[in-house]
């Protein structure tokens, strides 16, 4: 690439970009070659194992002589194949062995090894369906009790998760119907009906906001809102409000109330007034 003095920086930047692209392309080609090499090596190992198995069977049959009965030849072939597969930790080989030599002398050993390998492949994240398949294949196996317990637990988890998803879907439909409401009542009902919903907290906030706005429209001085109740003061009394209805008036100040504070448990209120007094109220909630 030619570098010119009048465009040196631009030319160098282009050169760097071409080098980086070349490196990336080479790295990608290397990954492809590596993957192909690994596949070839795996295929070669599989072919070698098959060849060794065939060789072992041939040697076994040659060593036992030609005068054996078909049943004796089958037993010899089974034992030779078992010697080949027993330490492979390969479930496919074990299944093939069991399919070829059903009812053979090695069947209990092969099933025991296969069961252990399949149990090790399961974990707490396995589906109940996968665990049920394991139980169906090994109904009398060594891991039957542990698998049954895990199956019941996982099934209960899946049922609970499905029920929760169904409830949340139902809550989503209900939320879309009330989220734009100008009336606090539907929002309050939603929060009470779906307390575990992802929208419950937002519904409570919107309810309180609508309560506050309605109190302002009435003309009261809103000072606090707590647990669905709001407290307002605009004269010499403190009014407790639920939604837009006055449910209680706390009388005692001789001048206008300026502020109200509510205890965290909502049981008491402290009010301040221009009469230079503080009054502690028992809200009876």
The model's confidence at residue 5, banded by pLDDT at 50, 70 and 90, is confident
Full-model pTM = 0.48
**Residues, the chain, total?**
285
R_g (Cα) of the chain, nearest Å: 39
What's the rounded Cα separation, in Å, for the pair 80 and 15? 64
Contact 268, 281 (CB under 8 A): yes
Tens digit of each residue's pLDDT (9 = 90 or more) over 142-165:
999 999 999 999 999 999 999 988
Task: Identify the pLDDT of residue 1.
Answer: 65
pLDDT in tens, 85-134: 888 888 898 889 989 888 888 899 999 999 999 999 988 888 999 999 99
Mean pLDDT of 36-49: 71
Measured between alpha carbons, how far is 11 from 13 in angstroms, rounded to an integer?
Answer: 5
Over residues 23-28, the mean pLDDT reads 74
pLDDT at 223: 47
**Average pLDDT, integer, range 56-85:** 73
Place of tokens 């009336």: 183
Single out the residue of 174, 269, 256 nearest to residue 227, CA to CA. Answer: 269
Q: With contact defined as beta carbons under 8 Å apart, do 257 and 250 qualify?
A: no
Query: What pLDDT shows up at residue 127?
Result: 92
- Identify which has the larger pLDDT, 12 or 58: 12
Contact 101, 78 (CB under 8 A): yes
Q: Which band of pLDDT confidence, cut at 50, 70 and 90, is reported for residue 219? A: very low
Burial of 257 (0-12, 13-18, 19+ CB in 10 A): buried
Determine the pLDDT at residue 274: 83
Share of the chain above pLDDT 70, in %: 71
> Who has greater pLDDT, 227 or 62?
62
Mean pLDDT value across residues 237-249 = 53
pLDDT at 10: 74
Position 234 scores a pLDDT of 53
**Is the pLDDT confidence value at 282 over 60?**
yes
Given this model, what pLDDT does residue 65 score? 54
Instruction: Judge whether residue 226 has pLDDT over 70.
Output: no
pLDDT greater than 80 at residue 168: yes
């Amino acid at each position: 690439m030619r570098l010119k003095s009048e465009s040196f920086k631009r030319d160098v930047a282009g050169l760097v970009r071409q080098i980086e692209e070349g490196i990336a392309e080479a790295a990608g080609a290397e990954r492809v070659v590596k993957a192909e090499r690994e596949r070839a090596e795996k295929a070669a190992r599989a072919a070698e194992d098959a060849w060794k198995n065939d060789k072992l069977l041939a040697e076994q049959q040659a060593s036992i002589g030609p005068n054996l009965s078909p049943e004796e030849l089958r037993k010899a072939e089974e034992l030779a194949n078992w010697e080949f597969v027993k330490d492979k930790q390969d479930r496919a080989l074990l299944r093939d062995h069991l399919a070829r030599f059903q009812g053979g002398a090695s069947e209990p050993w092969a099933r025991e090894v296969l069961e252990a390998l399949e149990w090790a492949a399961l974990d707490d994240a396995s589906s109940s369906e996968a665990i049920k398949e394991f139980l169906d294949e090994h109904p009398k196996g060594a891991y039957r009790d542990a698998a049954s317990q895990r199956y019941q637990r996982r099934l209960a988890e899946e049922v609970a998760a499905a029920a929760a998803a169904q409830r949340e879907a139902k809550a989503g439909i209900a939320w879309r119907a009330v989220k734009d409401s100008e009336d606090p009542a539907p929002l309050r009902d939603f929060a009470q009906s779906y307390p575990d919903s992802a929208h419950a907290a937002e519904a409570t906030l919107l309810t309180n906001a609508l309560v506050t706005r309605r109190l302002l429209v009435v003309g009261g001085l809103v000072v606090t809102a707590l647990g669905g109740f709001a407290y307002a003061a605009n004269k010499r009394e403190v009014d407790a409000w639920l939604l837009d209805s006055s449910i209680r008036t706390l009388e005692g100040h001789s001048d206008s109330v300026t502020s109200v504070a509510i205890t965290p448990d909502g049981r008491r209120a402290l009010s301040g007034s221009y009469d230079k007094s503080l009054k502690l109220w028992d809200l009876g909630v």
